[in-house]
Structure 1
Amino acid sequence: MSHTAHIRSHRKPRSRTASTIAMRAGVAGGILSTVAVAGASAAANAAEPVTQTLELPTLTADLSAQVAQSAEATQLAAANYQLQAERDAAAAAAAKEAAKDLAAAKKAEARKKAAEEARQAAAERASRDSRRTTLAAAADTGSSSFSTSASTSASTATGSAAAVIDFVRAQVGDAYVSGGTGPNSWDCSGLVQAAFRQVGIDLPRVSQDQSTAGTQVSLDNLQPGDILYWGGAGSAYHVAVYVGGGMFVGAQNPSTGVVEKPLSYDPPSGAVRVL
């Protein structure tokens, strides 16, 4: 048996009254109500979308003026481009018209030149025909002083003239080749140049220059060794050597080659003397 006596507590047991219980139940209910309201509010807030409002800058007077100036500058640039395009088109049209005018002028000049050349050729043909008729008539009658003089000259050719004549006559029968300078084919000026080179005379290469290489002489006063030319002096298109007796030797064309023919065969336009 314990020596300690059991002493009852002097504290009075708590008495839970109905009011205390009701108060505690009300507090708990209020807390639960608050939690429920808060939860419902959170759910509502989560469901609603968030809208953000942006505030645009206010269009001030300066910004408005800048916009107007930019628009005006754009319109001015467009107008300048249009004007430049119109100017370029006008310039192109003018250039095209000028080109047409130039082409027409060139054609007109070409026609004029062709007509002049045809006229000159016709005049030269008429002149040759006239001389051919005169020479033929003189040969038939035997009374031409030209023919008499030519025959005398042929019989008295000596020295350099005789050497030139001997050379060209030795080439009779050779072929005619444009640009030919021998020894078996010639063109007209190549034959004449080679003949005079035999006597130490260096003539120009082409007929145009050979027709002015010496002293101009009349066709009525020819001597053996004179250079005959056809066409104008300085613009001759053919040359040959007068060999006397009313005859000449020349490289005529591809059909005949080098031949000896009477002057009436193809009367020359003029002659020059270099011996």
Structure 2
Amino acid sequence: MSHTAHIRSHRKPRNRNASTIAMRAGVAGGVLSLAAAGASASANAAEPVTQTLELPTLTADLATQVAQSAEATQLAAANYQLQAERDAAAAHAAKQANADLAAAKKKAAEAKRKAEAARQAEAASRSTARTVLSAATSTASTSTATGSAAAIVAFIKAQIGDSYVMGGTGPNSWDCSGLVQAAFKQVGVSLPRVSQGQSTAGTQVSLSNLQPGDILYWGGAGSAYHVAVYVGDGMFVGAQNPSTGVVEKPLSYDPPSGAVRVL
């Protein structure tokens, strides 16, 4: 037999069954899968990731809510501004009130001071008048009416008790100037009808140098509002007012402003 003749081998043939082939295929497939996955991961790592967010759609209700919120904010701001203006106005009013109060107090104090000064001046004037009248009474107490003065005094004293009537000229009712005019008419002396004229009808005389028959007046010379006749002994007779009528009173009862001498 030839040395090249085929001799059957004594080695056992490999038993490559289906399970072994499948396992090897699986391993190979797994390696390929890992490789593919790695390649895919590398590719994905190289690309940037972009995320998209969806914004809510502005519906009609949402738009209304936004508008209402804006309106509420504006209203609140307006209220704050109005309150601030009110506070500022109140502060200004309070400041002005304090200033007005201070001015009123100052004015009241000034008025009080002036009133007190006037009161003191009036008191001093009355004191002077009393002194003058006291001196006049002392001097007149020794004087006696004579002649025409005596006739005037007698007539005017005879009217004591008559009533006072505005515009009255006798014979039983008189006003002050009507009585004085009638008294002087008894001796032929014509006097003006009213007090203002009678207060300048003669020569002005001092209240400390009075004589019976002198005309006394109250108010200013030429603007007197009342007249009477001095009758001596510090007394005068006149138609005073509706409640007293014609009366005789001391000079201190109602101190006159001045006197005139006609006779």
TM-score (norm 2): 0.51
CA RMSD of aligned residues (A): 5.0
- Residue 101 (structure 1) aligns with: 106
C-alpha deviations, 1:72-130, integer Å up to 9, x for none?
A: 44432221121112212222333333333333333332222222111100111011112
Distance 1:54 1:256 in 2: 101
Secondary structure (helix, strand or coil) at the match of 2:229 reads: strand
In the alignment, is residue 112 of structure 1 matched against residue 100 of structure 2?
no
Q: Which secondary structure state, in structure 2, belongs to the residue aligned with residue 203 of structure 1? A: coil
Equivalent positions of 1:1-275 (< 5 A) are 55-57=61-63, 71-136=76-141, 139=142, 147=143, 154-155=146-147, 157=148, 167-171=155-159, 173-175=160-162, 177=164, 181=168, 182-186=170-174, 188-195=176-183, 201-205=191-195, 209=196, 212-218=199-205, 226-229=214-217, 233=221, 239-242=227-230, 250-251=237-238, 257-259=246-248, 270-273=258-261
User: How big is each residue's C-alpha offset from its partner over 1:157-207, in whole Å with a ceiling of 9 and x where there is no partner?
Assistant: 3xxx89866652441x324658684543556445225545786533324xx
- What amino acid is aligned across from residue 135 of structure 2 in structure 1? S
User: CA contact under 8 A between 2:205 and 2:261: conserved in structure 1?
Assistant: no
In the alignment, the residues of structure 2 paired with residue 116 and residue 234 of structure 1 have an alpha-carbon distance, to the nearest angstrom, of 24
- Residues 201 and 163 (structure 1 numbering): CA distance in 2 closer, same or farther, change over 3 Å? farther
1:258 counterpart SS class: strand
Change in Cα spacing, 1:252 to 1:124, as seen in structure 2 (3 Å) is farther
Give the SS at the match of 2:63. Answer: coil
Q: Secondary structure at the match of 2:80?
A: helix
The alignment of Structure 1 onto Structure 2 pairs a total of residues equal to: 199
- Residues 249 and 259, structure 1, Cα contact 8 Å, conserved in 2: yes
Q: Distance in 2 between matches of 1:232 and 1:89?
A: 50
Structure ID, larger Rg: 2
Residues in 2 aligned to 1:264 and 1:83: alpha-carbon distance in whole angstroms: 64
In structure 1, stretches of 5+ residues that fail to align are 1-52, 140-146
Structure 1 residues 168 and 247, CA gap change in structure 2 (3 angstroms): farther
